[in-house]
Amino acid sequence: MRYLSSGESHGPQLTAIIEGVPAGLTLTAEMINQDLRIRQQGYGRGDRMKIESDQVQITSGVRHGVTLGSPITLVIKNKDNKNWGHVMAIEPIDEHDYEIKKVPRPGHADLVGAMKYGHRDLRNVLERSSARETAIRVAVGAVAKQILKALDIEVISHVLQIGKVSVTNYPTTISTIQAAIANSPVRCVDSDLSIQMCQHIDEAKQQGDSVGGIVQVLAENVPAGLGSYVQFDRKLDAKIAAAFMGVQSVKGVYFGDAMMASSHFGSEVHDQISYDQGFTRMSNHYGGFEGGMTNGMPVVVQAMIKPIPTLYQPLNSIHIDTKEVEESMIERSDSCVVPAAGVVLESVLAFELAKEILEEFQSNQMSSLIKAVKCHREAMRDF
């Protein structure tokens, strides 16, 4: 399974074409829209979210709510495009009546992107480097989640840290996490800390600043033996880490309790093997992976999200033509995207898991995939 996405932040639409989804999967636009709505929520998001209220259109690969096995095309219209007529015109225009962006934001793709592609208007870079693109990635992930759901695999994300406020005690099962974050505007399991996180975001916003944080993404009921130790590029944890790093503003990825484990004795952190109707582990410090393969324990991955680059109290930068010091440009922006980034990463994990499963158990039809995975689970249990 693979996909490509396209689309500029203020262009007409975002598009993705996914190839390799088996035939026979139940799929409707509403199943995808649910995830798009969650991505747009989260304390600290900006006004753009109020404008967009994303809705997906499925324009190929599905008939009567069931996948056909042919490429699936997903489209999300950018409702804001109507306000960007001249600025984002696809056809040549005679004269422009808009500001050309010249002062790059530190921490954004603006400067090096312009240097690489030879652009003198930084908008030519920021339109595609913008995390608006993550909307279509969430839509693609929602399709992957439907494949996982048919195999009884669930994925969730929650926030461990925003700025200096962090939660250290948290549940480890998806159902408990789901219930605990249901009313949190920052998708944090602790209601008191949720309030503190919101206050921290407010503080940053009032000062024209931004904050980052850490999210945890979990998958339950993932069969043992996905990925392989036999070649470096077949290790599934490596593929997941690369995919996570592909999300805007992710600056670090670690599995399970890797941060803690690196400062402890091996005897304190290795997950001891036990047997109870199949092999299991007495703990899950390594986040469900040994030797690049899933070991049947929940997959647990954390991503470190940097504070977003656009600041309403901007840092100094350099004008690309005059080479003079100026305050860096401002593009309408959020002040904290950590909860939303979690939702994006949930989609990314779902896609990587579904892709790996389809690579391991190649199937053109959902019914044969379900049978193959059931058979594999039995073989793992009876080893």
Ligand X SMILES: Cc1cc2nc3c(=O)[nH]c(=O)nc-3n(C[C@H](O)[C@H](O)[C@H](O)COP(=O)(O)O)c2cc1C
Q: Judged by CB under 6 A, does residue 330 bind ligand X? A: no
281 is in an annotated binding site: no
Tokens of 150: 């048919």
Q: Judged by CB under 6 A, does residue 347 bind ligand X? A: no
Q: Judged by CB under 6 A, does residue 162 bind ligand X? A: no
Other CB atoms closer than 10 Å to residue 357's CB: what's the count?
24
Q: Judged by CB under 6 A, does residue 338 bind ligand X? A: no
Candidates 50-58, 72-80, 312-320, 339-347; binding stretch for ligand X (CB under 6 A)? 339-347
Q: Which of 91, 82, 86 is nearest to 13 (CA)?
A: 82
Least distance in Å: CB of 192 to ligand X?
25
* CB-nearer residue toward ligand X: 299 or 341: 341
In angstroms, how far apart are the furthest CA atoms of the chain? Answer: 73
* CB-nearer residue toward ligand X: 67 or 310: 310
Q: Judged by CB under 6 A, does residue 302 bind ligand X? A: no
- Rounded Cα gap, residues 13 and 143, in angstroms: 19
* CB-nearer residue toward ligand X: 41 or 365: 41
Tokens of 141: 């992930």
Q: Judged by CB under 6 A, does residue 295 bind ligand X? A: no
CA 350 to each of CA 64, 92, 144, 353: distance values in angstroms, whole numbers, following the listed order: 24, 40, 6, 5
* CB-nearer residue toward ligand X: 157 or 249: 249
| DSSP type of residue 211 | -
Q: Judged by CB under 6 A, does residue 310 bind ligand X? A: yes
Candidates 58-66, 147-155, 183-191, 244-252; binding stretch for ligand X (CB under 6 A)? 244-252
Near ligand X by CB under 6 A: residue from 190, 334, 346, 352: 334
Near ligand X by CB under 6 A: residue from 217, 337, 348, 350: 337
Near ligand X by CB under 6 A: residue from 36, 140, 301, 308: 308
Q: Judged by CB under 6 A, does residue 346 bind ligand X? A: no
Q: Judged by CB under 6 A, does residue 217 bind ligand X? A: no
Q: Which of 143, 93, 144, 147 is nearest to 121 (CA)?
A: 93
* CB-nearer residue toward ligand X: 96 or 332: 332
Q: Judged by CB under 6 A, does residue 248 bind ligand X? A: yes
| DSSP type of residue 206 | H
- Rounded Cα gap, residues 256 and 182, in angstroms: 23
Tokens of 134: 């993550």
Which residues from 31-50 bind ligand X, rule CB under 6 A?
Answer: 46
Q: What is the DSSP string of 79-124?
A: GGGGGGTTTT-SS--S---SPPP-SPPTTSSHHHHHHHHT-SSTHH
Near ligand X by CB under 6 A: residue from 247, 293, 336, 366: 247
Least distance in Å: CB of 4 to ligand X?
18
Which residues from 108-127 bind ligand X, rule CB under 6 A?
Answer: 108-109
Q: Judged by CB under 6 A, does residue 309 bind ligand X? A: yes
Indicate the helix (H) or strand (E) that contains 140. Answer: helix 134-150
128 is in an annotated binding site: yes
Per-residue binding string, ligand X, 132-151, x by CB under 6 A, is --x-----------------
In total, the chain counts a number of residues equal to 383
Near ligand X by CB under 6 A: residue from 18, 27, 56, 340: 340
Tokens of 170: 């948290």
CB 2 within 8 Å of CB 17: no
Which residue pairs, CB below 8 angstroms and at least 24 apart, start in 268-271?
Answer: 271/295, 271/297
Least distance in Å: CB of 113 to ligand X?
9
Provide the residue type at 260 as one letter. M
Q: Judged by CB under 6 A, does residue 129 bind ligand X? A: yes
Q: Which of 196, 240, 272 is nearest to 348 (CA)?
A: 240
- The HSE-up count of residue 82 (CA atoms within 13 Å, CB side) is 4
Task: Say if strands 273-275 and 279-281 run parallel, antiparallel, or are unpaired.
Answer: antiparallel
Q: Which residues bind ligand X (CB under 6 A)?
A: 46, 108-109, 129-131, 134, 247-249, 306, 308-310, 333-334, 337, 340-341, 344
Show binding-site residues.
Answer: 39, 45, 128-130, 248-249, 291, 306-310, 332
Show binding-site residues for FMN.
Answer: 128-130, 248-249, 291, 306-310, 332
